[in-house]
Amino acid sequence: MVELFNEGKRQYYNVDGIKVYIRDNEGKKIYTSNEFIDISYNSTLIHPLNRVSCTLSNFFPHDFYFRHHHVRSVEGVLQGFKFKDILLQRESFKHYGRDAYAFGSAAFSNDWRCDGYLYFEGEKVDRFGIEYQKLLNELYVSLSLKKAFENNLIYTGNRVLLHSVGVLDPRETVLTTKEYILRLEILRECLKENKNPTQKLRYLAEVISEVYEEESYRKKLN
């Protein structure tokens, strides 16, 4: 994904040379059009497609199993990766919505941005390494096993998926907009065609980790 651009009060993404507007001439947010769907949790719930987009947000309360853990949302898991303490991590897994984000941002969580390491079950995981990308793959595949999520993802059709409140720099977030959207696009394609996404997701993990290595993000940490 690319950064946002402005034209007066209008705001847009440049997607493959096409301007995809997410704010109109009055500066009002657009969540759904024939071209795209914004999957941020702030989507209004008036239009059916907006309700669908909200359910694709990491904040949405989905009960599912990630490895042997019963979790409440993707966000709870992502925020949980910040905790070295296993019990605190498991507590994070129980949260959803903005509560999950707040829990991971609390003072007792580790500031992973200092050294670039996250944790899973007490073990260090390099934020910029392939093992973390594989962990993200497994997380989203686990979520895709929920029929409601699968149906809603397929329901978006061929619309461009956008996350207008996402962060692009991997040094500042445990999941960039690009890491998020690309996984949903792969899962959507494979679910529609009834194909196993494992190979494509594995390739994605390799590509992203190689890019991070080339960019030497660890050396750029504050």
Q: Give the tens place of pLDDT for each residue, 100-112.
A: 999 998 867 778 9
Give percent above pLDDT 70 in the chain: 91
pLDDT band at 48 (very low <50, low <70, confident <90, very high): very low
For residue 51, pLDDT beyond 60:
yes
Length reported for the chain: 222
Q: For 111-150, b where at least 16 C-beta lie within 10 A, e where not — what string?
A: ebeeebbbbbeeeebbbbbbebbbbbbebbbbbbebeebb
Q: pLDDT, tens digit, for every residue of 151-210?
A: 999 999 998 888 877 888 999 999 999 999 999 999 999 999 999 999 999 999 999 999
Which residue is it, tokens 């997380």? 139
| Mean of the per-residue pLDDT values of the chain | 87
User: pTM of the predicted model, to two decimals?
Assistant: 0.86
pLDDT > 90: percent of the chain: 59
The whole-number pLDDT of residue 36 equals 83
- pLDDT of 49 reads 47
Closest CA to 77 of 54, 103, 55, 56: 103
> According to the model, what pLDDT value does residue 52 have?
72
Q: How far apart (Å, rounded) are the C-alpha atoms in residues 105 and 78?
A: 11
The token pair that represents 183 in the structure block? 């996984």
Q: Which DSSP string corresponds to 129-193?
A: SHHHHHHHHHHHHHHHTSHHHHHHHHHTTTPEEE-TT----TTT-SS-HHHHHHHHHHHHHHHHT
Residue 22 CA to residue 10 CA, distance in Å, equals 8
